Structure 1
Amino acid sequence: MDPKAGGVSQAVKTMVKGLTFHNISSAIVSLDDVEIRKDYVGFDLIPIGKGLTSWNYHSKLTHWLRSNIAAYENVIVHGLWQFQCYAILKSMSAAANTKIYVMPHGMLDPYFQKSAGRKLKAVRNQLIWSLIENRLINKVDGLLFTCETEKMLAHETFRGYRPRRELVVGLGVEKDSEDDSSMANEFRAAFPQIQSNGYLLFISRIHPKKGLDLLINAYLKLKKTIGNLPQLVIAGPGLETAFGEEIQEIAAQSPDIIFTGMLTGRFKWGAFYGCGAFVLPSHQENFGIAVVEALSCQKPVLISNQVNIWREIEAEGGGIVVEDTLEGVVELLSKWRALAASEKMEMGRNAEKTFHKYFTVGMAAKRLKEALNYD
């Protein structure tokens, strides 16, 4: 549940909050040390302790599940390819009247088996699928998906995929309700190198999957040819990684590319409220919580068609969608630059309408409640 690990932790947190609106209480059992509780005040978080190896093995998790699983009406296993799936599989005999669901969070996407940079991981996943994951997925009461595209893609990845039920429950994002102008001013004050509002904003992990290299190279290419572009602000953890260092070296060609590191709280929302548009040319994005957060702030989103919620956004006119290639991202930035101010404002209004139509916490909680068969 470490927030630095990506969007799943935020998704779980939001789902639990949403269910409380329907008087459904939840516990979160995670492979974290007890210090993680400081990030989850008000939640029933049970940290078992850090797991071992990349598989996250921890014998205490199986023991805890076997001792406690029967006390719960429903259990949702979040994510795949790690020890929690095996632990649940070994504990199902103790869950006579408990319904068990798996929420893959995009981890059945064929991208992960086909990507050139993941050959060893693809072999590992194929082995784990044969030994564990397919047995779990075909045995549990159902699979929960964040969008229709994720559900469709799950059929393309592995042989023997035969879940009992497939349920699209969506995912909601909790919109910040505080004063947007004050937070935008606080963010600008913290990063004075950002000269004005209207910048392009990337918020995500600094990771090859996110298409950040495409974004920076496209930005630099347009800078050389047309010159007049808004600043590009890049926020997220991972600057210290090999990829992060490589990205910063490329970006050093322009002083208008600004790195802030990971943003949270008022700084994160201030970054959203101050930007002109949000950009994420990802090679694979199951849902894109940051994309939806931008929509909630009335900000157009400039994304690739590998962000699984692109159809909803394009249909409502809340952003611009292109291929996840260098040419595609050049086109993306060029199209945004060519829009008149009035067209950008209209796209922003459409972005907020898209959020309210598809992605509020209340709507997602209602769908999840119905999927879990609560009266």
Structure 2
Amino acid sequence: MKLLNVIPSVNPKSGGPIMGVNTIGSELTRLGHTQEIVCLDAPDETFVINHQRKVYALGSSQNGYRYSPALVPWLRTHARNYDAVIVDGLWQHHSFGTWRALAGSGIPYFVFTHGMLDPWFKRTYPLKHLKKWLYWPWAEYRVLRDATAVLFTCEEERLLARESFWLYRCNEAVTAFGTSSPPIDASRLKADFLSKHPQLEGKRLLLFLGRIHKKKGCDLLIEAFTQVARKCPDLHLIIAGPDQTGWMAELKQQASRHGIDDRITWPGMLEGDEKWGAYYASELFCLPSHQENFGIVVAEALACGKPVMISNKVNIWREIESDHAGIVHDDTVEATTQALQQWLDFMPETRLAMSQAARYCFDSRFRIDRVAESLVSIIQNSVPPLSTPTHPAIDRGA
């Protein structure tokens, strides 16, 4: 098949959706399929020029909605060259623009919501939710209603999505999600990472890796680390990731108030071998999020044989708990502290068994070949037989 992903940005700093698109794309290529991308970035961005896939960059707007007047005409002209179109995410022009271009055309399109219908956003940002509600009936509701299928990465996400808006109707499908296996030369990657950060040599390392955003619960992790660090002098915390909202300064002040700023390392965004080296150098991966659709980083940690300590707001927590691949806790300071202390209290053989369970969990649930095969199966079963549509698209202007 020839597939087209429509996404707001291919910037790796934008978070999980583009990471998923890139990783699945590599496996789709291995299976003989073709993946191309249309995005709303400026075409001269370095991350566009250097992207591993064919990227059509149609926008240069930096406003939150990322409106691009070129999107709808481009899709009307080119979408029929693809067997299916996949929309990644909601609430920006790429999703509504795809609906305007393709609804009624006969061209199948699918929507990955990437957790953007989670009711956590409604509870946490009620004013933003009100704005979304005003937008919902004439835009995103129609995007989902008319999609060939709306794709959820786990059962928990599918059930939660029904709670955000009472006007909700779509053809739901749950597909596997995950990531590729990491490089296997763990010793070299670990050594290279520690050579770049010599202050970490000989320490017991806890790792948070992801966007530094309030929903990720980094403040909970710092509070919990403060409580247990006094009893474990060789324990050290790594908080790695891009600071998109300027929250890092406040977090550093929090650590300084507790007198533990010298026991937290902030290496920024980690990519490639340095990212894998951080996983291999750490003994536990921590993600105490208040809301997390899937968490590619969780799957990456499991792939490296690292147990995970995650909140029960990370939507794959049931799978982690079932496979004994980590510790699941509430997204509170008290529960995060208890979970971290529980890990430190484990006997070495218990930690080893959990490490083995982590790799088993990845292999059985989150390997990228299973993900790609699941996605291909859903697309092929939803639109048999795949054929180039012949009717013109209907203009569904607001």
The TM-score normalised by the length of structure 1 is 0.95
In the other structure, the counterpart of 2:220 is 214
1:44 to 40, 48, 54: 54
Q: How many pairs are equivalent? A: 368
Matched, 1:243 2:247: yes
Matches of 2:100 and 2:159, distance apart in 1: 28
Correspondence 1:91-240 to 2 at 5 A: 91-93=101-103, 95-96=105-106, 98-115=107-124, 118-163=125-170, 165-196=171-202, 198-224=204-230, 226-228=231-233, 230-238=235-243
SS at match of 1:171: coil
SS at match of 1:26: strand
**C-alpha contact 1:197 1:275 (8 A) present in aligned 2:** no
Stretches of structure 2 that go unaligned for 5 or more consecutive residues are 1-9, 386-398
Q: Deviations over 1:200-239 (max 9, x none)?
A: 0000111100000000011112234x3446111110010x
**C-alpha contact 1:236 1:260 (8 A) present in aligned 2:** yes
In the other structure, the counterpart of 1:15 is 24
> Residue type of the partner of 1:25?
T
Q: Deviations over 1:329-367 (max 9, x none)?
A: 011111000001111111000000000010001101111
Deviation for aligned residue 1:38: 4.1
- CA pair 77-341 structure 1, distance change in 2 beyond 3 A: same
In the other structure, the counterpart of 1:303 is 310
Deviation for aligned residue 1:192: 1.4
> Residue type of the partner of 1:282?
S
SS at match of 1:55: coil
1:270 to 277, 283, 286: 277
In the other structure, the counterpart of 1:335 is 342
Matches of 1:270 and 1:52, distance apart in 2: 33
The TM-score normalised by the length of structure 2 is 0.89
> Residue type of the partner of 1:100?
Y
Q: Deviations over 1:23-76 (max 9, x none)?
A: 1112111111223234422x1211113235211101011111111112211111
**C-alpha contact 1:146 1:168 (8 A) present in aligned 2:** yes
Matches of 2:305 and 2:50, distance apart in 1: 27
Matched, 1:256 2:263: yes
Deviation for aligned residue 1:197: 5.2
Matches of 2:99 and 2:373, distance apart in 1: 28
Matches of 1:241 and 1:112, distance apart in 2: 17
**C-alpha contact 2:59 2:66 (8 A) present in aligned 1:** no
- CA pair 334-39 structure 1, distance change in 2 beyond 3 A: farther
Deviation for aligned residue 1:11: 0.6
- CA pair 355-197 structure 1, distance change in 2 beyond 3 A: farther
**C-alpha contact 2:183 2:276 (8 A) present in aligned 1:** no
Stretches of structure 1 that go unaligned for 5 or more consecutive residues are none
Deviation for aligned residue 1:128: 1.8
1:4 to 13, 23, 26: 13
In the other structure, the counterpart of 1:29 is 38
> Residue type of the partner of 2:93?
F
**C-alpha contact 1:69 1:94 (8 A) present in aligned 2:** no
SS at match of 2:78: helix
SS at match of 1:172: coil
